Amino acid sequence: MTDLPGAPVSYWIASTPTTRYDAAPAELDVDVAVLGGGIAGLSTAAALQTRGRSVAVVEAGRIVEGVTGHTTAKVAASHGLLYAYLIDAFGEERARLYADSQQAALDHIVRTTADEGVDCDLVRTPSYVYSEDPAEVETLEREVEAATRLGLPVSLVKDVPLPYDVAGAIRYDDQARFHPRRYLLHLAERIVANGGLVVESTRALDVDEGDPCVVTTDRGVVRARDVVVATHIPFLDRGMFFARQFPKRDYVVAARIDPTHAPDGMFLSTETPTHSVRVTEDGDALLLIVGGEGHTTGRADDTEDRYRRLEAWTTERFGVTDFTHRWSTQDYTSTDRVPFVGRFHPGAKRLWVATAFGAWGMTNGTMSGLLLADLVTGVENPWAGVYDPGRIGPVTTKAKEFVKENVAVAKELVTGYLSPGDVASVDDLAPGEAAVVRTGLSKTAAYRDDDGVLHAVSARCTHLGCVVGWNAAERSWDCPCHGSRFGVDGAVLQGPAVEPLARKDLQSGKT
C-alpha cells in the first residue's frame, strides 16, 4: 500500500475515547434487555427509557465499535435508487411510509442533537445521488418523480459541486452528516445517567423466550420482560435471518483536503463500483471520506488491491495525497431491500429484532428505535407493516440474485470441504501469509505472523460449517456463506457465528 496508513482504523474510533463500561453481573433483571450497542441498540434503549422502561444494553465488545463505528455516517433519506422500486414493489402507500419514517429518523437525530447540545459535528447539507453515464439520466428522472410523489425534498440537477462532470443528479435538500460515535456515546451516557445500564464484554449466547425471557450470556443471565436483538445480523438462527439477507463489505479511506477544494454536500454514484463521498471536520482541518469497492463478504481475494484502487480513485478525482485513515466494514441487505424491524418470528411475543439496514443504518437504526419503542409498549405505529420481519416480500431482482447466492452457499457447504487446500503444507507459508490447508480429513486455516509464529484454527465456520477464506487487508478469516468473520486466533469478530473457530496444534497433531 503506497500512501495509505498501515493498520485499518476508522476515523470515528480514532477521534473518540475508548469506552470502559463494566461487564454484566452474574444475574440481572430489567424490563428490556437490548442486545448490541450499535446505533440500533442504543437508539432503541434510549427510546424505551423515555417510555419509562428500565433498560440494559448488553454489548459483546465495546459499544459503537461494530459497523456503526466504521460507517460513513450520512444521515439521509437518499438511499440510492430506491423509491421508484419501492412504489413498484410495495405500492405508493407503503413506499410513502418508508420515506416518512426515514425523514422522521433524520429529524429525530437533528432534534436530539439540538435539544441535548450534543457535540457531534452535525451539519445540514444536501445529499446527491449522481451518475456520470448519460444513459442513466432517464432512471434518475424516474426516481425524482417517485421521490417527489412521496413528499421527499428532491430535484433533478445537472450541476453538482464535484470536481468532475456528471450526467445528472438527484439532489435531496436538508439532509445531514455527523460524527456517529460522538452522538451515540452521548446516548449511552444519557441512558446510564437516567438509571439504565450499559454493559460491555458480555456476549449474548442464547435467549429463552418466556415470561420473563432469559438471556444467557458468557457472564451469567439477564432476565427481561422483552428482549431486542440488535446485534447487526441476529445471532439466533430462529427467524432464519441469515438466509434472508446478504452481507456486502465496503472499503473507506480518509484524506486531508484543502477546504477551498472540498465538495459541498454528500455524494453517492449509481455506477458499479459505487463511490460515496463526504467531508468531516477534524479540529481545524477537513477530511475527505470516500467509500467504495464493495463485494460479497468472503468472496474476494484482492482485498488489499481494493484499498489501493479506492486510494487511486480519490487522488485522481480530488487531488488529495495525505491519507490519514483507512478501514472497512460490512452491512446486510434483505432480499426486498427493506429492513426487518419488529417481532423476531411470527410466534414471538417478547422477542424483537432490527436488522438488514442495506447500508443506510443511520436513519434505519434510529427509525428502529422509534418503531420498537412503540411496539414493545403496545402503541400502534403505521410503519410496523412496512418493516414487519414476517412479511412476504415481492420477487425482485435482488430476490432472484439471492436464490443464486443461496445455491452458491449450498455449493460452498458441499465443495468447500471436499476441495483441496490452498497450499499443500503450512511449511509453504512465508511470514505474513495465510492459507487453508488440508490436514487429514479436515481443513485448517493457517496464518504465519510477521515474526514467523504459526496461528492455526479450524477452517470450518462455527455457524453452519462453510470453509472460511483469508481477508489479507483485515487479517481475518471471513465466511463466504453468511458473512461471519474471525480473528487469526479464531475469535468471533462478526456474527452470525457465536462460537470461535477451534484452535489447532499442527506440531503435535492435536486439534
Ligand X SMILES: Cc1cc2nc3c(=O)[nH]c(=O)nc-3n(C[C@H](O)[C@H](O)[C@H](O)COP(=O)(O)OP(=O)(O)OC[C@H]3O[C@@H](n4cnc5c(N)ncnc54)[C@H](O)[C@@H]3O)c2cc1C
Q: Which positions touch ligand FES (CB under 6 A)?
A: 242, 461, 463-466, 479, 481-484, 496-497
363 binds, among ligand FES, ligand X, none (CB under 5 to 8 A by kind): ligand X
365 phi and psi, to 5 degrees? -65, -40
Residue from 48, 199, 204, 227 touching ligand X (CB under 6 A): that is: 204
Is 363 one of the binding residues for ligand X (CB under 6 A)?
Answer: yes
178 binds, among ligand FES, ligand X, none (CB under 5 to 8 A by kind): none
Cβ closest to ligand FES, residue 42 vs residue 459: 459
- Widest CA span of the chain, in angstroms? 68
DSSP 168: E
Q: How far apart are CA 270 and CA 85, in angstroms?
A: 14
Cβ closest to ligand X, residue 70 vs residue 504: 70
Residue with cell 454484566: 24
Is 461 one of the binding residues for ligand X (CB under 6 A)?
Answer: no
* Sequence-distant (≥ 6) Cβ neighbours of residue 37 within 8 angstroms: 57, 58, 59, 62, 63, 64, 66, 188, 198, 200
Is 232 one of the binding residues for ligand X (CB under 6 A)?
Answer: yes
Is 306 one of the binding residues for ligand X (CB under 6 A)?
Answer: no
Is 55 one of the binding residues for ligand X (CB under 6 A)?
Answer: no
Least distance from ligand X to the Cβ atom of residue 430, Å:
31
* Paired strand residues for 442: 439
User: How many residues belong to the chain?
Assistant: 511
310 binds, among ligand X, ligand FES, none (CB under 5 to 8 A by kind): none
Q: How far apart are CA 137 and CA 182, in angstroms?
A: 38
* Sequence-distant (≥ 6) Cβ neighbours of residue 369 within 8 angstroms: 40, 42, 43, 44, 45, 46, 47, 354
How far the first Cα of the chain sits from its last, in Å, is: 36
372 binds, among ligand FES, ligand X, none (CB under 5 to 8 A by kind): none
Question: CB–CB of 247/233 below 8 Å?
Answer: yes
How far out from the chain centre does Cα 74 lie?
13
Least distance from ligand X to the Cβ atom of residue 405, Å:
18
Residue from 4, 67, 224, 468 touching ligand X (CB under 6 A): that is: 67
362 binds, among ligand X, ligand FES, none (CB under 5 to 8 A by kind): ligand X
Least distance from ligand FES to the Cβ atom of residue 360, Å:
23
Is 37 one of the binding residues for ligand X (CB under 6 A)?
Answer: yes
Residue from 59, 136, 226, 311 touching ligand X (CB under 6 A): that is: 59
Q: How far apart are CA 269 and CA 313, in angstroms?
A: 13
Q: How far apart are CA 153 and CA 454, in angstroms?
A: 56
* Sequence-distant (≥ 6) Cβ neighbours of residue 188 within 8 angstroms: 19, 21, 37, 42, 57, 63, 64, 198
Site mask for ligand X (CB under 6 A), range 249-268, x = bound:
-x-x----------------
Is 333 one of the binding residues for ligand X (CB under 6 A)?
Answer: no
Cβ closest to ligand X, residue 140 vs residue 187: 187
Return the number of other C-beta atoms located less than 10 Å from residue 260's C-beta.
6
Residue from 231, 270, 280, 471 touching ligand X (CB under 6 A): that is: 231
Least distance from ligand X to the Cβ atom of residue 444, Å:
26
Size of the site for ligand X (CB under 6 A): 39
Is 219 one of the binding residues for ligand X (CB under 6 A)?
Answer: no
* Sequence-distant (≥ 6) Cβ neighbours of residue 350 within 8 angstroms: 209, 211, 212, 213, 225, 226, 227
71 binds, among ligand X, ligand FES, none (CB under 5 to 8 A by kind): ligand X
Least distance from ligand FES to the Cβ atom of residue 298, Å:
8
Binding site for ligand X (CB under 6 A): 35-41, 58-61, 66-68, 71-74, 203-204, 230-232, 235, 250, 252, 291, 329-331, 357, 359-363, 365, 495, 498
